[in-house]
Each structure stands twice: as structure tokens, then as C-alpha cells.
A = this chain, B = another copy of it.
Amino acid sequence: MCANALAKAGVNVRIVDQRADKIPAGQADGIQPRTIEVFQSYGLADRLLKEGNHMHMAAFYNPGPNGIQLTDRVPDVTAPTARYPFEVTLHQGAIEAMFLDSMKSMGVEVSRPIVPTELSLNEDLVGDPEAYAARVVLTHLDPPKGKSATEIVHAKFVVGTDGAHSWVRKRFDIAMEGSQTEYVWGVVDMIPQTDFPDIRNKSVIHSENGTCMVIPRESDIVRLYIQLEGRDAVDASSGRIDKARMGPEKLLEVASKSFHPYTFQKPEKFDWWTIYIIGQRVASKYSVADCVFIAGDACHTHSPKAGQGMNASMNDTHNLAWKLAFVLRGWAGLSLLKTYELERRNYAQDLINFDVQWAHLFSGKHRTELNQDGISHEDFLKVFQTFGGFTSGIGIRYEESAIVNYGAQPCARNVLIGQRMPPQVLIRAADFRPFELQDLLPSNALFKLLVFTGDSTEMLEASLDPLIKKYGHALQVITIVSKRWPGFSLADIPAVLRPHWSRVFCDEKDARGTQGGDAYATFGIDPIAGAFVSVRPDGYVGMLAPLGSPGALASYFDSFMQ
């Protein structure tokens, strides 16, 4: 995600990986609705949707008189504005392959197997984004014959996306704050032979014999998460997982007890398996001297139960990449980079707070007549649905900063400042073609200025011209008129609002009346007064302003642009 986004922004990027090859199977596999939107913004969603399994429904099983029974089925995604109201599940190797192919088309390939062995900052150069302040020694684990195993790279910036045991993080003694839980989970990937009815839905199984989760995947594969008794898989003396104590057959055996009366036949093979203890930790800081950054598992570890891991990680660098690009282009000062830690570390802490509750519910005992302190299905469902906005990624909201100005929320009551711009179908003025607004906001490392003109475009030319003269290099204007007013003609739209015929839209339904319309109403924008909506390059709403206050726009950009 990081290297691809930087390459797309025109940044000269080098990416190294200690693995000799891309991941073949297993690992993370759940892509949340907001992350699908992000993939779409990079032009990667078509392939993701084609290759991945789509998970629409969540089923809940609880103890009944003869083993487990279905208690409820609910939509897996409850966030009402999610453009893709489902999760995609696909093994990590296939997801990596999309990024590798995308990068390759831009001339960037991963160098492997390579590890960093030294990383130092030149204190005289730090703070100058033009200077190569970081010196990285790379060690090639499998150097070509006769070639040196070490290589020195001078970089303007370094991003450590090197996992839970991050070398970069350790190099700078960045602490992980939080604790290990007592929860131990096993994971198996396989093509199941079973009579369990919800094997192709996300299923949460609470039984008298333990807790399991079913995650269906591509090509008939299913992943089972199986809660284990710590003593079965943990070495008592070290407190660490001992994978020798338990193989996938044993894991499936444990699961089978929970699924009774449904059965699993032993599969032909297991595609992947693992056992882990849930740790819930966040790095104490995300950057060193605004020059070295860490992202992904290097910054946060938590349970995979809510399917957040890969999503949290990819969205870290989706957040960081455009900021680096702006600094490298000389458009913004280094202080812009501080918003990365602000936004993503707070999010990671929220994630871990959620995870604590979720893991407790997940691993807890089911409420029964004898155990009234147990967790009822209603408790569970309430948390599942209350946190739907959070787990889908749709509800994530960045707090106030130079690039998030909460001031003028009433201009567009339902376009929440700090959240991602919601989807909405608009009709293009010139040719009546319906467009999804989110598709007008690609991750191209440019701001988008949405001008909801209301019922007139008079006055806007004079008021917007100075802003476009100053910051036009960094933003794209998209014009959305409230309707084709009497005598509407594209030719009458001022040039500043119409850099190309394709950039003017109307808030109308399509010719069939099946999509589009009501954008102003949905967004809470007055159809006469209109509004400015400034969308950040990562798709998040940076600020709003009344059409009469172009000065507010200028002040916003002045605060971080140079």
C-alpha cells in the first residue's frame, strides 16, 4: 500500500522485504468496506471484488438442547453509507499480488530477500525535506554470486512496515504499550466437508464446548478461528505458543466439539494454520524526527476477531503517503507529517479499546439459566451492531488538526468533517452519465474541491479565482449544481468551475430514475446556498465553507501549504 501509493504520487520509492517470495497463502484475509473503497480509489477494487469472496451475512449459533443452534442472522455490515455493504475475504498473497502488479506497471518492484541492518539519521540534514537525511544499510540475504551482500541507501524518508516484530521500531527504541491477553486462538484454512448450514457466512459459534468463528473465503476455502484453552498450546515455562503441541488436525478436532451436532470430515489438506496469543498494544510513537515512520503491525497489534488487522495497516500508509508526497513536492511543510501519528495512533487506540470489549465478549461464556453472569446473544449483537461503523472502517473520524477543520459543519450537516466522503450518484451535466462521487475522488495525491453551487454560479468566478491561482496545482475542482435551472447551459458555467466539460455534475436522477438525485438533501446542503467541501487526497473531508466565504478555504490551505 505504501510503496504503491507513493509510486502513484510520482515519488521515487525503494521497497525491500525479508521474504524471498510473496506470501503464498494464509495470513490476514479480511477486507472491510472502507478498505474496498480505498482499493477502488487506487483502481484496484475490480480485481479485489472479482477474486475475493463476498461476505454479506453474519450468523450466530448458541447452545441448544442438542448442541448448537442458529439464534440469528444479521447483515455483516451495518454501516448505512457503506458503498460496498459486505466484507471481501481473500488470502493475503492474492492481495499482495494486486499491489505488486500495480507497482510493476509503474516500474517499482520489491527487492528480496533483504533486511535493514543499520539505520541512522544525519542530524544536520533532518528537517530539510530536500536532504537525504537517512542512511540505511541493507543486507541482501541471497546476494548474486560475487556481489556484495550490503548496500547503502540514502533516503529522504524511511517507512518501516516491518510487522509486529519491527526492526525499525526496535532500532529507535519505540515502546509497545499495552498487554498480552489470556486468549489463545488457533486458525485453520481448508476446503471443508460439512453439513453446517452457514459455512459460507461469517458465523460466530458459542457452544458449551468452546467458541469458534467461520470466515468463508475464495475458491471454497473456509477459515476457522478456534478458541483454545491456554494450557493446550502454551509452553508454561516461557508463556509462549508452542506450535509443536498442536497441529491443524488437533485444531479441527477441538472445533468439531463446538460444532456438534454438525460435523466436519477431515479435509484432504490444510491450506494454512497457526496459533497465537492476542496482544493488545500500540507503539508509543509513530515517527522519529519527521523522517522515519512506522506503520501497520509495527505500530499496533490486536485480535483478528473483528477482521481489522490488514485494514488498519493498509489505511495507515494510505493516510501517510499523500502527506509525504506533498512534503516531497515542496507543497507542504514537514508539520503536515505530524498529522499521521495524530490521526492513526488515536485510531489504533480506539481499535484496541474496541478489541478489549470484543475479545471479552467473544471468549466469554454464554449466558445460561445456571450462569446468569454469562454473555447473552443480545449483548453480543448489540456490540456487533453498535461498532458496525467502526469495524467497517466507514465511521472512522479524524480529529481536528491543520488538515481537519471542524468549524463549518452546518454547511453540510451530513458530510461529517474528518470522515471519508460518502458515496453518492451524480449525473454529469454534459452527457447525463451517472457517476459515483467517490470515483471522482481517486487517490491521486491531490485535494478535491467540491463546489456545490446551489442554484447559481454567479459570483463564484471572482471569489474562487485567487484560490485557484494560489493552490490550483494541488487541487481539482468538481462542480455540482443543484439542478439544471431554467436555461441551464454548460457554456454559462464560469471557467474556474469548468476546467473540462467532464467536471460539472447535476444533482438529478438518471434517465431511468433508478439512481442519483437528492445529493444536496442527503448531504444536508442547502439547495440555494450551496457549500464548499474540501476533500483530502485520501478521501477524508478536510473542511467545509459557505460559498460566501472563499477566504475560509484560503485560510485552510494556508495553514499547511507553503
Residues of B within 8 A of A430 (CB): 199-201
A432 to B200, CA, bound (A): 9
Residues of B within 8 A of A200 (CB): 430-431, 501
Name the segment of A53-61, A153-161, A457-465 touching the other chain: A53-61
Are the C-beta atoms of A56 and B431 separated by less than 8 Å? yes
Contact of A510 among B56, B195, B216, B434 (CB under 8 A): B56
Chain B's nearest CB lies how many Å from the CB of A429? 9
Residues of B within 8 A of A511 (CB): 56-57, 75-76, 85
Residues of B within 8 A of A46 (CB): 46
Chain B's nearest CB lies how many Å from the CB of A194? 10
Q: Which of A54, A197, A432, A491 has the most CB of B within 10 A?
A: A432
Residues of B within 8 A of A431 (CB): 53-57, 200-201, 216
Contact of A197 among B57, B489, B510 (CB under 8 A): B489
Are the C-beta atoms of A86 and B197 separated by less than 8 Å? no
A22 proximal to B (CB < 8 A): no
Residues of B within 8 A of A86 (CB): 433
Q: Which residue of B lies closest to A73 (CB)?
A: B432
Q: What does the 1/0 interface line of A106-117 toward B look like (CB < 8 Å)?
A: 000000000000
A431 to B216, CA, bound (A): 9
Q: Which residue of B lies closest to A488 (CB)?
A: B197
Please give the number of chain A residues whose Cβ is less than 8 angstroms from any Cβ of chain B in the complex.
28
A145 proximal to B (CB < 8 A): no
A487 to B433, CA, bound (A): 45
A490 proximal to B (CB < 8 A): yes
Residues of B within 8 A of A75 (CB): 511-512
Known: A46-B46, A200-B501. A433 touches B85 (CB 8 A): no
A510 to B201, CA, bound (A): 14
Chain B's nearest CB lies how many Å from the CB of A76? 8
Q: What does the 1/0 interface line of A426-469 toward B look like (CB < 8 Å)?
A: 00001111100000000000000000000000000000000000
Q: Which residue of B lies closest to A55 (CB)?
A: B431
Q: What does the 1/0 interface line of A488-520 toward B look like (CB < 8 Å)?
A: 011100000000010000000011100000000
Chain B's nearest CB lies how many Å from the CB of A81? 11
Residues of B within 8 A of A197 (CB): 489-491
A75 to B430, CA, bound (A): 14
Are the C-beta atoms of B433 and A56 separated by less than 8 Å? yes
Chain B's nearest CB lies how many Å from the CB of A518? 14
7 tightest Cβ-Cβ pairs between the two chains A and B: A75-B511, A200-B431, A200-B430, A57-B432, A56-B432, A54-B433, A56-B433
Give 4 A-B pairs besides A46-B46, A197-B491 with Cβ atoms closer than 8 angstroms.
A56-B431, A56-B433, A75-B511, A195-B491
Q: List 12 A-B contacts (CB under 8 A).
A: A46-B46, A54-B431, A54-B433, A55-B431, A56-B431, A56-B432, A56-B511, A57-B432, A75-B512, A200-B430, A200-B431, A201-B430
